[in-house]
Amino acid sequence: MAVSVVRFESRTVVRRPAGDVFERLADLPGYGRWMHRDGVFGGTELTSPAPVRAGTTYVDRTRMGRFVGEVTEHVPATRIAFSETLAWFGHPLTQARPGYVLEADGDSTVVHHVAEAELYGPMRLFRPVVAWMVARERSHTLASLKRSLEGGQAR
């Protein structure tokens, strides 16, 4: 099966301790309280028991469909990563792998964010659109994360 890859990389500084940033990113059911509402995101629910840790499974509801995901890395205050697959009619269309590396910098946190998406089958034809959507969504997610922690929302 031929594959096409889209990659997004960004860095932002959040004026909060790394532990606070990590807690916000690890609180998957809480994403609906701080995530932007103008994109494809519709909500996240756990499909395995809390607490969230490596191996925790979840579903992201989006305008494109349901991404079935798993927490692949969970190192408090340092790293968290995910793997999510979107399939239609039993055929995978994309596998997304967003991850965050958190670096303490005094009372702030440098958030390094990398997201890759592998596109399969007919989804490869939409690579330019998917690349634009990934960049838009991931940028909005980082802005929402920063705003929620610095602006006093959803603590």
Mean pLDDT, the chain, whole residue set:
92
**103 or 42: whose pLDDT is higher?**
103
- Note the residue count of the chain: 155
Give the pLDDT confidence of 36-82 residue by residue, as tens digits. Answer: 776 667 789 999 999 999 999 999 988 888 999 999 999 999 999 99
Written as one string, the DSSP assignment of 110-153 is: EEEEEEEEEEEGGGGGGHHHHHHHHHHHHHHHHHHHHHHHHS--
What single-letter amino acid sits at 39? G
Q: Using an 8 Å Cβ cutoff, are 55 and 71 in contact?
A: yes
pLDDT confidence band for 1 (50 / 70 / 90) = low
- β pairing state of 41-46 and 91-105: unpaired
pLDDT confidence band for 103 (50 / 70 / 90) = very high
Q: Which domains does the chain have, with CATH numbers?
A: 3-150 (3.30.530.20)
pLDDT confidence of residue 71: 98
Enclosing H/E stretch for 13: strand 3-14
Whole-prediction pTM: 0.91
Structure tokens belonging to residue 125: 């034809």
| Rounded-to-integer distance, Cα 59 and Cα 154, Å | 21
